[in-house]
Amino acid sequence: MPLNGGSNLSPDRKHPHPAARIFQRSLPSRIPERILPPPKHRTMLHYRTHEISPEHEWVVFVHGAGGSSSIWHPQLRAFRRHFNVLLVDLRGHGESQGPHFDAFDRPYTFDRVSRDVLEVMDHAGVRSAHFVGISLGTILIRTLGEIAPERVESMILGGAITRLDARRRFLVWLGDRMKRTMPFLWLYRLFAWVIMPRRRHRESRMLFVGEARKLARREFLRWFHLTLELNPLLRFFEEKEVPIPTLYLMGDEDHLFLPPVRRLAAKHQSATLEVLERSGHVCNVDRADLFNSLSIDFIHRVAGTRPAEGAA
């Protein structure tokens, strides 16, 4: 089935792109008028909302692997002055874990995990929203832009992962070899040091390692399994641009992920890149004020709205 009414064929091939299998199902073109209740077969993700009014734009925050909605604390106060806000704990993270969540599909895929967010939006009555993500959360948002573009008003992708070069693929390979023998927290600390090596990144490292302590080992292994989908999926995203306004926010010290984002942003017409000085991979923490101001201004421009007086 073509994606979004278009073609699944790569520009230079006459057979489907390898990543097209991830999007085998698509949402109906018309969003149902009723609010969908939680499915009976399992528990919905934990979420919370901060609503100003039905007329205000909605912003959905999507954290990365090993985090939780609490990593958006530096953003919450600023954003809730301007927009309705929805914060989600992804599968196995934050409050979305415990025996009552064990009925989640196995193995995890980016398609299934992304649809969890759509399910929360249906339950909360959010027809469409602007999405803000960090690290692996940016891949989930980009997946939503593929399977449900009518629900994505704009995408703000912080510390975005858009390509895995040889060094990054080696890290994934190493993690895959060690994931069942090394304590997963040791592995997570190793990745945190490789991705965020500088002294000024210490707060970000401590935040994410602290959140990872709350993650069960089985959940770590399920999420790590997702890395097997990364290469074909990221190539697909690079080749197929979605016409959704996109803002990339990257730290100038995000040495692993900034170079491919520069190339992608130059290639895609709907994309804008802002590089935050003195910031690493987790730029929403390293440079929270700048991250907030750039994101809020971008959403207002896309929505054609103006900030309320005194809300800046």
Note if the bond before 243 is cis, omega within 30 degrees: no
Residue 201, pLDDT score: 67
pLDDT tens digits for range 285-301: 999 999 999 999 999 99
Q: In the predicted model, is pLDDT for residue 173 greater than 80?
A: no
Residue 309, pLDDT score: 59
> For residues 95 and 38, which has the higher predicted lDDT (pLDDT)?
95
> Mean pLDDT, to the nearest integer, of 249-266?
94
> For residues 65 and 166, which has the higher predicted lDDT (pLDDT)?
65
| Tokens of residue 139, six digits | 């891949």
DSSP code of residue 37 = P
Cα–Cα distance measured from residue 137 to residue 106, given in angstroms and rounded to the nearest whole number: 19
pTM value is 0.78
For residue 50, with 0-12 CB atoms within 10 Å meaning exposed, 13-18 middle and 19 or more buried, which class applies? middle
pLDDT tens digits for range 4-40: 433 344 444 444 454 555 454 433 333 333 333 444 4
> For residues 164 and 168, which has the higher predicted lDDT (pLDDT)?
164
Q: Do the beta carbons of residue 205 and residue 192 sit within 8 Å?
A: yes
Pairing, β 129-134 against β 271-276: unpaired
Q: Do the beta carbons of residue 146 and residue 23 sit within 8 Å?
A: yes
DSSP string for residues in 98-151: SGGGTTS-SS--HHHHHHHHHHHHHHHT---EEEEEETHHHHHHHHHHHH-GGG
What is the rounded average pLDDT for all residues in the chain?
A: 79
Cα–Cα distance measured from residue 138 to residue 135, given in angstroms and rounded to the nearest whole number: 6
Q: In the predicted model, is pLDDT for residue 183 greater than 60?
A: yes
> For residues 92 and 228, which has the higher predicted lDDT (pLDDT)?
92
> Mean pLDDT, to the nearest integer, of 164-180?
62
- Confidence tier at 3 by pLDDT (50, 70, 90): very low
Least confident of 24-33, 81-90, 137-146, 181-190: 24-33
Q: In the predicted model, is pLDDT for residue 244 greater than 70?
A: yes
Residue with tokens 């980016």: 110
Share of the chain above pLDDT 90, in %: 46
Assigned fold of 36-303: Rossmann fold (3.40.50)
The alpha-helical segments, DSSP class H, found in the chain are: 73-79, 110-124, 136-147, 166-178, 184-195, 202-212, 217-225, 230-239, 258-267, 283-286, 288-303
Name the range with the highest mean pLDDT among 20-29, 84-93, 264-273: 264-273
Cα–Cα distance measured from residue 139 to residue 6, given in angstroms and rounded to the nearest whole number: 21
Residue 54 identity (one-letter amino acid): P
Cα–Cα distance measured from residue 106 to residue 210, given in angstroms and rounded to the nearest whole number: 26
Cα–Cα distance measured from residue 112 to residue 5, given in angstroms and rounded to the nearest whole number: 20
